[in-house]
Structure 1
Amino acid sequence: MYHNRPHVEDIRAMKKRGEKISMLFVTTPEEAAAAAAAGIHMLSIEGRFFDAEMREAAGDCFVQVGLPYGGWGRFEGRPIATAEDYLRAAFHYAGIGGDAYYCAASYDIQKVLCDNHLPVVGHIGLIPSYITWTGWRAVGKTAGEAEALWRHTRKLEEIGVFGAELEVVPDRVAKFLTENSSLVMLGMGAGRYADAQYLFTEDVCGYGRNHKPRHGKVYRNFAPELERLQAERIAAFREFKADVESGGYPGPEHTVPIRDDEFDAFLNSVKG
């Protein structure tokens, strides 16, 4: 597949040069196309949303595809559990045009992907799929936790991981991890020193209905317009329902006609 979008080596080169990387989480082709038009460097797209249409819409953006994790998602109709499951999913998305693969599974599974020359993005800090062990809070605010993050970082490097989502950790800890690791650190609530700044489109555009994270920033508030459109959608549906019940729809302009002689011939044929 020939294209102009960056490769892993290009993203690594940006880190070495100290260039800041922009990254968005998108879920629709419209969001992906807007990100591409805006020149966003990297996109994160969950596997359940990633298909040929999304890859086309993403244009020259580097796309990280999120592999389903255990009960959090399914691939080919079944939960992802074994290294073989992850490998099958990753190669499937590679065939569509994925550039890297987010995987929050165990070290041994991540290593299998790396050993098969797939660019893997791990996770450091607040990891949603492990949330029962930490709760929804910043991770790394004590010396012991910060040291554990460093050990985790070194382990990811050791098994060949390319980058890591660095989520909700203190900025000075994030700075140390970023500057002392070859991993491309994709910061989400990790301060200004991470290699990339990563936000969800729903936060950037103000239409998220979930908890608003501290690190989120609204650049445009789509919520009122989306609410207006939803109200208009409901009104249109109600008018359609009323039209159906009153006989106002369909009208002659919505109906396919047939000439009288053809219809008479049809009736004579079937009745004969």
Structure 2
Amino acid sequence: MQTNRESHCRHKSFHTVSMSAKPMKSDEHPFGALAPRDAHKRGLHRTMTLGGEYATRNYTVKHLRDLKGKTILTETMPFTTREAVAAEEAGIDTLKVKFDPANPAEAIAMRKAAPHTFMTFCIGLTKIATADEAVRAGYIAMEAGADGIMCQWGPKLIRAVSDAGIPVEAHAGLVPRLSTWTGGLRAVGKTIEEAMWIFEQIKSFEEAGAWAVEVEVVPAQLLAEISKRTRLVTSSIGAGSGGDIQFMFAEDILGCHAPPYPRHTKQYRDLYKMEQAIQVERVNGFRDYIDDVKSGTFPGPQHIVNAPEGLINQFLSAVDGSGVESLQNDVNRRNGES
């Protein structure tokens, strides 16, 4: 289990969406860019964000709820805007991104990179301490373009956020930052006591007003049964295919770092190996540049601008009165030899 990422919080094709469409500028309408009237033809839904901006999304909360138990959707968490762009272009159904209420720029950039994908902003466990702070953080997220927030809070704070009209996703099973309560970074729910605890926890989130729950590293069969017994949309990470959404980090899907990877992940590419090869090329490129400079082969005649005839004599005369014509001849000769 990778603990540096624990704060994160097809049914229909998305491949045909035109990513080149240019919406109106926000200052052309009091509520921002109007969503295109033909959005439904592109598999998108016209909506308005809680922040008051017109938008088009592949899903809304209602659509995701309506799909519960009917299909399995895909979800990832990109760590770069390039990953976010690629995820939307590929047709990933929903995205989660890290969100810091005190520094929302990174999440805002992710939102701009994938403007049509349902996106949940994940607020770190220790970013808030009270119900008022939770609601305020939720509003900041929604105004920044989130379609909902994801948290690791208890039912009390979830209820406060839900009562404020903010779609909130909870976190059950293995919650890495709270793993001291469950014996460390391990699978949770392999005893009847733990299984009942997870179920009761999810039901408490449901009663508090959450609309979804991320369930992490629990037995696959357990999540399958729990998902049948809750109204919450269940997002599975390391918990099998019994949930409504299958979630995996972008860096695991793309193989962005050196092994090992979590057992519950699969690497579909090896970008780490490719990046290592690119890094070798970077180093070699710099070394070749150093060699050329030291040997005098760079810059060559094709890389420089030659002075017009007579300019250097005029310059020397103006500077020190020497007018040494041979100096210009030497320069021209060296350039010709190079």
TM range (shorter): 0.7 to 0.9
Q: Which residue of 1 aligns with 2:177?
A: 129
1:42 to 86, 94, 99: 94
3-state SS of paired residue (2:256): coil
Question: What RMSD in Å do the two structures reach over aligned CA positions?
Answer: 2.8
Q: Which residue of 1 aligns with 2:107?
A: 51
Q: Deviations over 1:197-234 (max 9, x none)?
A: 10111111112346411210111222221111122233
Distance 2:172 2:230 in 1: 12
Q: 1:149 to 1:56 in 2, by over 3 A?
A: same
Question: Structure 2 matches for 1:231-270, cutoff 5 A?
Answer: 231-237=280-286
Q: Aligned letter for 1:146?
A: A
Bigger Rg, which one: 2
Is it true that 1:67 corresponds to 2:123 in the alignment? yes
3-state SS of paired residue (2:57): coil
Q: Deviations over 1:144-175 (max 9, x none)?
A: 00000111011001100011111110111101
Q: Which residue of 1 aligns with 2:161?
A: 113
Q: Which residue of 1 aligns with 2:212?
A: 163
1:21 to 73, 79, 88: 73
TM-superposed CA distance for 1:2, in Å, is 2.4
1:188 to 222, 237, 262: 237
Q: Aligned letter for 1:222?
A: L
Distance 2:207 2:81 in 1: 36
Q: 1:237 to 1:93 in 2, by over 3 A?
A: farther
Is it true that 1:10 corresponds to 2:63 in the alignment? yes
Is it true that 1:83 corresponds to 2:131 in the alignment? yes
Q: TM-score, normalised by structure 1?
A: 0.82
User: Is 1:139–1:169's contact at 8 Å kept on the other side of the alignment?
Assistant: yes
Q: 1:234 to 1:47 in 2, by over 3 A?
A: farther
Distance 1:194 1:23 in 2: 12
Is it true that 1:101 corresponds to 2:170 in the alignment? no
Distance 1:2 1:203 in 2: 30
Q: TM-score, normalised by structure 2?
A: 0.67
Q: Which residue of 2 aligns with 1:149?
A: 198
Q: 1:110 to 1:232 in 2, by over 3 A?
A: same
What runs of 5+ residues in structure 2 fail to find an aligned partner? Answer: 1-53, 320-338
Q: Which residue of 1 aligns with 2:335?
A: none
Q: 1:146 to 1:244 in 2, by over 3 A?
A: farther
Alignment: residue pair count: 252
Distance 2:246 2:232 in 1: 14
User: Is 2:190–2:218's contact at 8 Å kept on the other side of the alignment?
Assistant: yes
TM-superposed CA distance for 1:241, in Å, is 7.2
Q: Which residue of 2 aligns with 1:73?
A: none
Q: 1:166 to 1:239 in 2, by over 3 A?
A: same
